[in-house]
Chains A and B, each alone.
Chain A
């Protein structure tokens, strides 16, 4: 028995740790990040299997159970664990289905700004004479407008709704990706390996996407996590202003906005969606911190 244990330990110490394992060790070192990850996994499971997990249809209105309090309170019903809203819809089911929507908005808007953001950033970095500055000016212009106002204006143009909310949030978060990618690219361009690749006759696309981009990914991944959480917040804010996803779709911010009317009578319809938003955003931010520490030790204390 003892020899066996000994040999495995020896074996491991001889091996060079795989990058994935190394990453995980660094990540797991941060307890908050692990807690965030756990909550996120829970959320993702909820989102993926919402129709099976949720006890009720989120749009089914139990008209005889308007504003039922959560089960543990007086007057609560066991079948409505977290109570019901103003038309008798089960709050828990709506929150679970809302996870779908919030994650979808987060994911879609991150992708929709990450990809064009990286492209524009690469172009801006590779063409520092004319194209680069013009792109950066454009981004400066967008940054000069407060993001929420810009998002409101975009939604006002496109009309409220799920797709348009995603679109508005994606546009608003575009400039930060462009700036970040460009800065990272500018940093890498002077490195020897890039010069070497150039001299070896690598084509421009190859230089951009295969040589330089992979080395710029760390800060971008961190930024993507952070903007994932701010996308959820922005979507909720738009929903709160009545401009987000339209009912009966259960989006957390929209739920909060329509629940505002009942704040004195039914605290649960107001506090629970808000709390869910807070916890999810917090979980993502915790994960983001862990990711940053794990991916890029240099950045550890930078921000």
Chain B
């Protein structure tokens, strides 16, 4: 087992360097000039421009910039934003919890609903419910989520007035950011009603972001469950006279979860992509919005290291899923 983990870990090293090279190259290829963006229609004084480029380290040849970059990374320094001059790491830390909170809420929504719907659909295969779940989940899978978000806002926030329009909490609550997770911070702050308010802000974005994972998980659970229910051990369990609930949940679901788990892993990347759109629609102060805006402002260090951090996260999650999968399924472990 250990050698399996070690082998997987070794594979991560070239991937990591590849990602640094790719992000560096991508970002430098983007045309544009951060000083110009800042000055807008105004005149750009050439001396001032040269000073700024020197201060930002953008006047060096590309390879030198790349080595500087790797050197910095080796010291654990992710550089500073060109625009705000704050360290990229501290900006990431202030914004990342918001995205994680949103993504976890979305996964919770998608996971519970998807599992339940998938299991029931599998048990009642061919029923109206089954067809309904499959149809809806296919529609969910085909949903342009930016449009979906707009529709939900229109309906629940503007028309019915049930949920707030955007943001993480009513700003009249002054919640000191301790953990960065609004739900936890509001509880820590002890302000009455703040937690509920934060929850109300979270509902719509979580539903929007969770829609596609929900569809995937429901379909996946259904087919995995169908497969498992056909297996011999389930038939044996049934024959033994175990209660149907026990058969389904203990023998069936546990084994059906393995492929579902991998889907969870694969969904992390998709979730982050979805987060870009969801955060844009709901003005959610997370990293998706941060990166899109930084690309617009040509804030090289932010884009470069922000993408690097996200890539590392994706790699890490996939690694963990891989290991878990290997633990659950010995055949995979000994392959290759």
- Interface residues of chain A, those whose CB is within 8 Å of chain B, are 32, 137-138, 140-149, 152-154, 156-157, 159, 229, 233, 236-237, 240-241, 253, 256, 260, 263-264, 267, 270-271, 273-274, 277-278, 281-282, 284-286, 289, 301-303
- Asked if B97 lies at the interface with its beta carbon under 8 angstroms from chain A, I say no
| Interchain residue pairs A-B with the least CB separation, the first 10 | A274-B147, A148-B273, A281-B142, A141-B18, A146-B273, A144-B311, A282-B142, A146-B272, A157-B29, A301-B223
Number of A-B contacts (CB under 8 A): 130
| Option from B30, B270, B292, B311 in Cβ contact (under 8 Å) with A157 | B30
Residues 271-316 (chain B) with a chain A CB within 8 angstroms? 272-274, 276-277, 280, 288, 291-292, 295, 303, 307, 310-312, 314-315
B327 at the interface (CB under 8 A from A): no
Q: How large is the interface on B (under 10, 10 to 19, 20 to 34, 35 or more residues)?
A: 35 or more
Using A147-B269, A241-B280 as known contacts, say yes or no to A271 and B151 having CB atoms under 8 A apart: yes
Interface residues of B in 141-185 (CB under 8 A from A): 141-144, 146-148, 150-151, 154, 158
**Which of the 9-residue segments B19-27, B40-48, B57-65, B107-115 touches chain A?**
B19-27
Our pick among A143, A229, A253, A273 for the contact of B142 (Cβ within 8 Å) is A229
Name the residue of chain B whose CB is nearest to the CB of A138: B18
B193 at the interface (CB under 8 A from A): no
Contact pick for B223, options A233, A256, A284, A303, CB 8 Å: A303
Interface majority SS on B: helix, strand, loop or mixed? helix
* Secondary structure dominating the interface of A: helix
Mark contacts of B117-155 with chain A using CB atoms, 8 A cut-off: 1 yes-contact digit, 0 otherwise: 000000000000000000100110111101110110010
Contacts A278-B139, A281-B142 given: A149-B18 contact, CB under 8 Å?
A: no
Contact A278 B143, beta carbon cutoff 8 Å: yes
- Is the pair A144, B144 in contact by a Cβ cutoff of 8 Å? no
- Given known A149-B310, A152-B292, contact A278–B14 (CB-CB < 8 A): no
In the complex, whether B220 has a CB less than 8 A from a CB of chain A is yes
Whether, in the assembled complex, B201 has its beta carbon less than 8 Å from a beta carbon of chain A, the answer is no
Q: Which residue of B lies closest to A226 (CB)?
A: B141
Which A residues are in CB contact (< 8 Å) with B31? 157, 159
Q: Can you name 14 A-B residue pairings with CB atoms under 8 Å?
A: A137-B15, A141-B19, A141-B22, A145-B23, A145-B311, A149-B291, A153-B27, A157-B31, A159-B31, A236-B144, A278-B143, A281-B143, A282-B138, A289-B138
Please pick, from A157, A256, A264, A289, the residue contacting B146 in the complex, using a CB distance under 8 A: A256
A149-B310, A241-B280, A285-B141 as given contacts; A141 in contact with B15, CB under 8 Å: yes
B220 touches A303 (CB 8 A): yes
Interface: B237 (CB within 8 A): no
Q: Which of B23, B139, B146 contacts A240 (CB 8 A)?
A: B146
Are A146 and B276 within 8 A (Cβ)?
yes
Closest to A142 in B: B22
B226 at the interface (CB under 8 A from A): yes
Q: In this complex, what residue of B is CB-closest to A289?
A: B138
**In whole angstroms, how far apart are the Cα atoms of A253 and B15 in the complex?**
34
